[in-house]
C-alpha cells in the first residue's frame, strides 16, 4: 500500500489558513481518502459564535423534534457547505453553544433530546386503555 498526504488551505481575509490534511491510501480495492481538520482551524472563536447563531435558528424552526446528534449534524453540514466554507464545530463547542442558549436536555433510552421534544410518557402496554370486547357481540 502506498499513501500520500497533502495540506488543504482555505483563503480567509486574503490570507491562507490550514484547514486540515487530506490523506490518500492506495489499497487492493482502490484509493481510500480521509480528511482530518487542523486544530488551529477548529479552535477559532468565530466557530463558537457561528454555532450559537445556527443552533438558535435551527431549534426555533424545528420546534425541538430531533435528537441532539441530529442538531449537531445539521449545524456541521451548514458550516461545511457554506460559501466561503466555515470550520465545523466540534462536539465540545456544540455543547458549549447549547449551554449558552440554556437548552434543557432530556434523556430517553440511549438518545439525548431537547427537553420537551421526547415524549414524556411513552405509550406502553401498562398505559394503554384496553378495548372492552364484551360490548361487541360475536356472531
Q: How many residues does the chain have?
A: 139
Radius of gyration of the CA atoms of the chain, in A: 23
Domain count, the chain: 2
pLDDT-based confidence at 77, cuts 50/70/90? Answer: very high
- Domain annotation covers residue 13: yes
pTM of the full structure = 0.55
C-alpha cell at 60: 426555533
Predicted local distance difference test score (pLDDT) of residue 17: 77
Do 49 and 35 belong to one domain?
A: no
Mean residue pLDDT of the chain comes to 76
Do 77 and 19 belong to one domain?
A: no
Do 30 and 60 belong to one domain?
A: no
H/E stretch holding 114: strand 111-114
Domain span including residue 56: 44-114
- Domain annotation covers residue 101: yes
**Is the C-alpha dihedral spanning 83, 35, 91, 68 positive or negative?**
positive
**How far is CA 64 from its chain centroid?**
14
Of 46-50, 86-90, 125-129, minimum mean pLDDT range: 125-129
- Domain annotation covers residue 89: yes
DSSP string for 69-102: HHHHHHHHHHHHHSSS--PPPPHHHHHHHHHHTT
Q: Read off the pLDDT of residues 62-76 as tens digits, 9 standing for 90 and up.
A: 766 677 888 899 999
Predicted local distance difference test score (pLDDT) of residue 106: 67
Do 36 and 48 belong to one domain?
A: no
Do 83 and 96 belong to one domain?
A: yes
Coil vs helix vs strand at 1: coil
Alpha-carbon distance 96 to 122, whole Å?
30
Amino acid at each position: 500500500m502506498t499513501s500520500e498526504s497533502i495540506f488543504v488551505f482555505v483563503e480567509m481575509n486574503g490570507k491562507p489558513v490550514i484547514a486540515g490534511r487530506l490523506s490518500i491510501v492506495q489499497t487492493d480495492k482502490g484509493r481510500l481518502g480521509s480528511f482530518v481538520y487542523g486544530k488551529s482551524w477548529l479552535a477559532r472563536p468565530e466557530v463558537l459564535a457561528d454555532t450559537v447563531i445556527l443552533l438558535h435558528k435551527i431549534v426555533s424552526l424545528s420546534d425541538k423534534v430531533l435528537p441532539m446528534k441530529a442538531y449537531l449534524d445539521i449545524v456541521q453540514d451548514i458550516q461545511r457547505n457554506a460559501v466561503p466554507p466555515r470550520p465545523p464545530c466540534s462536539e465540545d463547542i456544540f455543547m458549549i453553544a447549547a449551554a449558552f442558549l440554556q437548552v434543557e436536555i432530556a434523556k430517553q433510552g440511549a438518545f439525548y433530546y431537547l427537553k420537551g421534544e421526547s415524549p414524556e410518557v411513552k405509550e406502553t402496554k401498562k398505559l394503554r386503555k384496553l378495548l372492552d370486547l364484551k360490548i361487541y357481540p360475536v356472531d
